[in-house]
Structure 1
Amino acid sequence: MPSDISHGLVEKMSIAHPEAALQAITQAYAPSKLDVFGTAGDFDLRLHVLRLPGITYGHIQFGTDVRVTALPPSCYVVCFAPTGGVRVAATRTNQQVTGQRGAVLYPHEATFFEDWSPASELVSLRIEDDHLERGLVQLIGHPIREPIRFEAGCDLENAQTASFRRALQLLEAELQNPSALAHDDRGAELLADFVTTSLLLSQPNNYSEMIHKPRKAVPLGAVRAAQELMDADPMSINTVGELANRVHTSVRSLEQGFRTHLDTTPMTYLRRTRLAHAHRELQVAASSNCTVRRIAHRWGFQHLGRFARCYREAFGELPAETLRSGRR
Structure 2
Amino acid sequence: MRAFPGRQPVRRATLAAADPQATAELIRQVYVDLDVRVRRLGPDLRHRISTVEVDQVAADRVDSSQFDMRAATEPFANLTAFVLRQGRTRVRTGRGSTHQEAIPQVGQGCLYPHDRPVTIDYPYGEPPVTGRTEISVSSLRLPWTTVARLAEESTGLPAADLRFTALQPLPRAAAHWYRTFDFVHRQLLAPQTVLAHPLVAENMAATLAAAALAAFPNTTMAAARLPPPGRAAPAAVRRAVDFIEAHADVPLTLTHIAAAVRTSPRALRDAFLRHLDTTPTAYLHRVRLERAHTDLLAADPARGADAGLAAERIAERIALRWGFADATRFTLAYQQVYGVTPGHTLRG
Q: Smaller-chain TM-score range?
A: 0.7 to 0.9
Q: Which amino acid aligns with 2:51?
A: V
**Partners of 1:104 and 1:285 in 2: how far apart?**
46
Alpha-carbon shift at residue 130 of structure 1 (Å): 2.9
Q: Give the 3-state SS of the residue equivalent to 2:168 in structure 1.
A: strand
Q: Give the one of 106, 125, 140 matched to 2:114.
A: 106
Counterpart mapping for 1:68-87 below 5 A: 68-79=71-82, 81-87=84-90
The size of the alignment, in residue pairs, is 313
Q: Which amino acid aligns with 1:296?
A: I
What TM-score comes out, normalization by structure 2 length?
A: 0.69
Identity %: 21
Q: Is the Cα contact below 8 Å between 2:75 and 2:113 reproduced in 1?
A: no
**Partners of 1:143 and 1:214 in 2: how far apart?**
12
Q: Is the Cα contact below 8 Å between 2:187 and 2:193 reproduced in 1?
A: no
**Partners of 1:103 and 1:302 in 2: how far apart?**
27
Partner of 1:97: 103
CA 46–89 in structure 1, closer or farther in 2 if over 3 Å, else same? same
CA 135–277 in structure 1, closer or farther in 2 if over 3 Å, else same? closer
**Partners of 1:304 and 1:81 in 2: how far apart?**
25
CA 79–31 in structure 1, closer or farther in 2 if over 3 Å, else same? same
> Deviation digits for residues 7-60 of structure 1, max 9, x if unmatched?
654545554333443443233223445432241414221323343435434343
Q: Give the one of 147, 169, 192 matched to 2:205.
A: 192
Partner of 1:133: 148
Q: Gaps (5+ residues) in structure 1?
A: 1-5, 323-328
Partner of 1:170: 183
CA 71–212 in structure 1, closer or farther in 2 if over 3 Å, else same? same
> Deviation digits for residues 160-209 of structure 1, max 9, x if unmatched?
44543332122232255355432212211221122112222322223321
> Deviation digits for residues 204-255 of structure 1, max 9, x if unmatched?
223321168797896644433322222233224534454345443436x655
Q: Gaps (5+ residues) in structure 2?
A: 1-7, 127-132, 307-313
Counterpart mapping for 1:4-83 below 5 A: 8-12=10-14, 14-63=16-65, 64-79=67-82, 81-83=84-86
Is 1:203 matched up with 2:233?
no
Q: Is the Cα contact below 8 Å between 1:35 and 1:67 reproduced in 2?
A: yes
> Deviation digits for residues 127-179 of structure 1, max 9, x if unmatched?
433333222222224634x44322233145x1044543332122232255355
